[in-house]
Amino acid sequence: MTHFKVVIPARYAATRLPGKPLRMLAGKPMIQHVFERAMESGADEVLIATDDERIRDAAAQFGAKVCMTSPQHRSGTERLSEVASRQEYAADSIVVNLQGDEPLLQPALIRQVADDLAAHPQASIATLCAPLTQVAHLFDPNVVKLVMDGAGFALYFSRAPIPWDRERFGSTPPLLGANSNYFRHIGLYAYRCGFLREYVDRPPCRMEQLESLEQLRALWYGYRIHVAHAGVEPEAGVDTEEDLMRVEGVLRDKAPGV
């Protein structure tokens, strides 16, 4: 049985949806739904990491453990590193980074990514992918693509369509399906705490800056990322008002007695 912790980085400020963690969904703040999904994963500990007292106070209302962190962090990974240091997690401890805008994410995926890292001691990070089935997503820069080696370790992540089909792209629309060679990245990570402490001391690399993908820093410095195929199709997160309405409907349909 894999022992792991879940840290939920939560920022109040968001360009497209200010105050996102505290937006109400089916009678609860969104961050509470995320916390509940994490608790259902079987994690040894679930902790919310934030730099905002409003989120801390809301979390206290539903009994979540909170770690206040610096407002200067540029990414959730940096925030996790501070948590791991302040909580004195052992270097070989596994921590899952669960974004605070994933109120529908299945607990099975949280456990899967932790189990996958535990099963691959060569890796510092584990993450998930799913087949790309829509041509529009293949060419959408907001959908991150990835390629892996034969053992499932990541070779590269990109906002561009990779691998590039030299014979067909530009002349014939690509055919996608469950058995295609194209995969989208699911932004759920498990880290070894020793890696987190090293990561924040590494300066950003040019690839990371060009693609705006922080996981490329790990590849640049030689860390290995293992990628597993998601056991279930992940539910979408919340970025817009439209997403809020969609998730509200899903949660109300799932509520007992509805």
Measured in degrees and rounded to the nearest 5, phi and psi for residue 119 equal: -80, -10
ω into residue 163 within 30 of 0, thus cis? yes
Rounded to the nearest angstrom, the gap between the alpha carbon of residue 145 and the centroid of all alpha carbons in its chain is 14
Cβ–Cβ under 8 Å, residues 228 and 116 = yes
Residue 114 corresponds to which tokens in the numbers above? Answer: 């932790």
DSSP β-bridge partners for residue 10: 50
The DSSP secondary-structure symbol of 41 reads: T
Is residue 177's pLDDT more than 60?
no
Which helix H or strand E contains 131, and what residues bound it?
strand 125-131
Which carries the bigger pLDDT value, residue 77 or residue 109? 109
Whole-number mean pLDDT of the chain? 90
Q: What is the mean pLDDT of residues 201-223?
A: 95
Which helix H or strand E contains 49, and what residues bound it?
strand 45-50
pLDDT at 258: 38
- Enter the pTM of the model: 0.91
Percent of the chain with pLDDT over 90: 68
Q: Superfamily assignment of 5-233 in CATH? A: Spore Coat Polysaccharide Biosynthesis Protein SpsA; Chain A (3.90.550.10)
Convert the pLDDT of each residue in 14-67 to its tens digit: 767 788 899 999 999 999 999 999 999 999 999 999 999 999 999 999 999 999
Alpha-carbon span 16 to 52, nearest angstrom: 18
Alpha-carbon span 101 to 8, nearest angstrom: 9
Residue-range domain boundaries for the chain = 5-233
